[in-house]
Amino acid sequence: MKEKEVEQTLNDIRDMMSKSSRFQSVSGYSIIVVGLLAAVASLITALIIGVENWFPCSEKLQQFMVTDTAARTQSIAMTGLILFALSLLTVFFFANIKSKRHQLRFAFDKRMGQMLLDFFIPLVVGGVLSIVLVMQEHFGLTSSIMLVFYGLALVNCSHYTYPIFRYLGYVELLLGIIDCFTMSHALLFWFLGFSVTHIIFGIVYVLLFDRKAK
């Protein structure tokens, strides 16, 4: 009897330590949804790039899009920005639901501020860098820069949450580095990094943390 009590006490201590120091509210399902959104964005981008063959629109618009590369660049950039906004909304929306369901803390406090800062500093720097590259028409490295800086952002804030996020960061970094060395496979690597990796990671995350939590 006493033995069980002590075991329970130790478990409670462990729970309290991890509950108070780590963000556990990120939902694995939201990571899968983000991966699917990225897949849709990749598809749209592929259609825009191969506008001559793919884009189902009037001939006049096709002509315009083929000749006007600025319009293409802009529509790809818009797709990216919309994807970014939707992904953030998805993650926060699901996190809110999860934290209510499992009575986790999900409030903006000092720690949350620190985590967001650590996450967004590399991300914003990378974002500005890729926007500048696009504006100067150096398209070649944008996808690897996005992957590398996203990976750095994840590694940088992983100690606030489950350490597994560090490995997601490593995968993104690796893909980004390989992407630097290959020519003309930017969209493929972008798709692998932001869509495939997120979907696989999301499934693993759900199995490890979300299912267990129930």
Partner 1 sequence: MTILEGLNKTFESKIRLGIMSVLVANESADFATLKALLGLTDGNLASHTRSLEEAGYIRCEKKFIGRKPNTTYIITQSGREAFTAHINALENFLRECKS
Chain residues that interact with partner 1, rule: CB under 8 A:
3, 6-7, 9-10, 12-13, 16-21, 105, 107, 109, 111
Beta carbon of residue 129, minimum distance to partner 1 (angstroms, whole number): 34
Contacts of 120 (CB under 8 A, 6+ apart): 153
Contacts of 210 (CB under 8 A, 6+ apart): 27, 28, 29, 98
Angle between helices 110-135 and 142-157 in degrees, nearest 10: 170
* Spatial separation of the C-alpha atoms in residues 57 and 61, rounded to whole Å: 7
Closer residue to partner 1 in complex, CB, 24/42:
24
Closer residue to partner 1 in complex, CB, 25/42:
25
Beta carbon of residue 153, minimum distance to partner 1 (angstroms, whole number): 23
Distance (Å) of CA 23 to CA 95, 133, 187, 206: 10, 34, 32, 15
Closer residue to partner 1 in complex, CB, 21/74:
21
Closer residue to partner 1 in complex, CB, 7/137:
7
- Computed from CA positions of residues 111, 115, 116, 122, in that sequence, does the dihedral angle turn out positive or negative? positive
Beta carbon of residue 99, minimum distance to partner 1 (angstroms, whole number): 12
Q: Match 């990216």 to its residue by tokens.
A: 80
Beta carbon of residue 167, minimum distance to partner 1 (angstroms, whole number): 22
Beta carbon of residue 110, minimum distance to partner 1 (angstroms, whole number): 8
Beta carbon of residue 159, minimum distance to partner 1 (angstroms, whole number): 12
Closer residue to partner 1 in complex, CB, 6/81:
6
* Spatial separation of the C-alpha atoms in residues 208 and 74, rounded to whole Å: 40
Give me the numbers of helices (H) and strands (E) for the chain, helices first please.
Answer: 10, 0
Closer residue to partner 1 in complex, CB, 12/137:
12
